[in-house]
Structure 1
Amino acid sequence: MSLSLRLRRASAAGALLAAALFATACEPTDPVAPASPAAHSSSAPAAPAPTPTPSPTPTPTPTPTPTPTPTPEPTPPATPAPAASTPPAKAAATPTTARTTSKPPTPTPAHTQEAAACHPLSNAGNCYKAGQFCRNSDHGVSGTDASGRTIVCVDKNGWRWIAS
């Protein structure tokens, strides 16, 4: 037997052994990983080994279980009330209290003097003070600060609130 024939057989046997080990190590649901080129280190070209493809297995579909339907219970027959020979005694009138299911009124949040006395408010809901920068939407607007002083948004070294 020539040396090249032995090498071919050895590489083919090695490839089959590697494929068998790879196939037994994988679960049927695992994705197939491509073989790395380092796995084939023979100098002779080997015939490509067929890779086994997993066959799809049918999954059982759950069948709905029937739910038991409740059977109605028979109602007892109504019995007629015995005729009373004497009129029933008048029950003593007891005062009843009416129950209310309404919720108590929710307390209104107390507004601070700061929030009620100044305008316009910043995006955070705070009062502006003289010297602070104005928003673009406030250019030329006048308002009051927390102290009640009138402030105006003017362009003075940048748009700022200035006390007037």
Structure 2
Amino acid sequence: MTDPAPAGIRPHRRKRLWAACVALLAAGAVGCGSTNDTAAGSATPAPRPTVTVSVTATVTETAEPEPAPTVTKTRTVRKPGPTVTVTRRASGTTGTSGSSGGVSSGGGTCSITSNAGNCYAAGQFCRNSDHGATTTTAGGTRIRCSYSGSAWRWTYA
């Protein structure tokens, strides 16, 4: 059973189209089948380039000094509040355990620093862990964490 011809193509034109496609396919297969890597008329293949790779490795080792020993001193606050631990490093800087240094730019040292590592100033709020503790400001003035006006604040000692 044959399909009816589409509206714009006549049956004899479809046969010619198939014949042309088959002829092109055959010509392409014949043309692709005879490839030759050697030059025409010579029996030896063409020379290929040689690749040479040079690798040079350099290793540099840097020595780092050993960390200095840490001395920990615990002092007990007489007023209600927690125990405050002060850590002194061998280089002379001070800070609370877990902070990154406590040397102030004003020449004094503060033994209790904020979570960001800064010295406290009078009037700032105290952390719960600092209630009743005493430290110094960046300028060296002594301040104490005391209950004042319904909040724990750093006040001049």
Structure with higher strand content: 2
Query: TM-score per shorter chain, which class?
Result: 0.3 to 0.5
TM-score, scaled relative to structure 2? 0.34
TM-score by length of 1: 0.33
Query: More helix by proportion, 1 or 2?
Result: 1
